[in-house]
Copies of this chain bind each other. A is one copy, B any other.
Amino acid sequence: MDLNVYKIGGNIIDDPKKLDTFINSFCDCKGKKILVHGGGSIASELCRQLNIKVVMNQGRRITDAATLRVAVMVYAGWINKNLVASLLSRGCRALGLSGADGGCILADKRNPEPADYGFAGDLSDGSVNALFIQNLLDQELVPVFSPVTCDRSGQLLNTNADTIASALAVAFRSYYTVRLRFVFDSEGVCCPGSERHLPLLSRAQYVKLRDQGTICDGMIPKVENALRALEQGVGEVFIGNTCIQL
C-alpha cells in the first residue's frame, strides 16, 4: 500500500491562491497521506512585529525562548489549525499534531556545539511513534504535522519541517511504499536567482553544488533530508512544484 508524505513551506502557505491549489490537489490524492508544514516567513514576520531578532544559520532558525514562543504559536497554532479547518471543509478528516501530541515525535534538544541553535529539536531513529500514527491512519484520519516537537522533560522544541517529513517517511518505509514530496514554489532544486533546476541529484553532486554555493540556505537541510530518506529506504523523493501531479 502507498503512503504519501507531503511537506509544504512558507512560499505555498503565504500565497492564498497557491495554498488553495495545493489543498485541492492534496484532498484529491487517494489513499493514506500525511501533511507536514513549515511557515517560517509568517513566524519571522511576527518576530519583527514583536521586536524579536530573527537569526538564521545555514537555513535553520536559531531559536531563543522568545522565538520558540512565536514558532509554537505560529506553527502549531495559526498555520496548523487553519490548514486543518480548510482540509476539513473539503471533506478531508485532518487531525493537527505537534510531536508532543500523544508523544508521537519526541526529539532531543540540539547539542549547542559547534553552533548553538537554542530550542531546536533533533530527531533520532526512535523519535517517531509509528504505531500511534498508524492508528490514526487506520481511522482514515489525515495527520497534519506542525514543525514543533518536545523532549522527554516536556520542553517544546522548534524542529525543521523537512526533517519531520523525512523522519515520518523513513518510519513508515517497512509498512508502505512511501513517496516523500517536498512541495514548494519552484520546479526543483536551484539556487535563488538561478534558472537551473536539477532533474536528478546524487549525494556526490549535492556535496559539489553545496560547496560551490549553488545549493544554499534552506535548500541545504531539504536536500540532506531527502538524501537521508532515500538512503534509509524511502521509495521516492520529489523536491519541486508537484502540485499539478499529486
| Partner-binding segment picked from A28-36, A84-92, A225-233 | A84-92
Distance between A43 CB and nearest chain B CB, rounded to angstroms: 10
Determine the chain B residues whose CB is within 8 A of the CB of A135 once the complex forms: 139
Smallest CB gap from A68: residue in B: B78
Contact among B81, B84, B103 for A88, CB-based, below 8 A: B103
In the complex, A148→B80 CA distance in Å?
12
Cα of A75 to Cα of B95 in the assembled complex, Å: 17
Main SS of the interface on chain A? helix
* Number of chain A residues whose Cβ lies closer than 8 Å to a Cβ of chain B: 39
Give the chain B neighbours of A155 by CB distance below 8 A.
85
Complex Cα distance, B153 from A85, in Å, reads 8
A102 touching B98, Cβ below 8 Å: no
- Does A101 make an interface contact (CB < 8 A)? yes
Q: Is A189 an interface residue (CB 8 A)?
A: no
**Interface pair A81/B50, CB less than 8 Å apart:** no
B81, A148: Cβ atoms closer than 8 Å: yes
Contacts of A73 in B (CB 8 A): 73-74, 77-78
**Residue A152 is within 8 A (CB to CB) of chain B in the complex:** yes
A194 within 8 A of B: no
Is there contact, CB below 8 Å, between A101 and B84?
yes
- Known contacts A49-B50, A85-B150, A88-B103, then 4 further A-B pairs from the complex at CB < 8 Å, ordered by chain A residue: A72-B78, A84-B101, A85-B100, A89-B153
Q: Is A12 located at the chain interface by the 8 A CB criterion? A: no
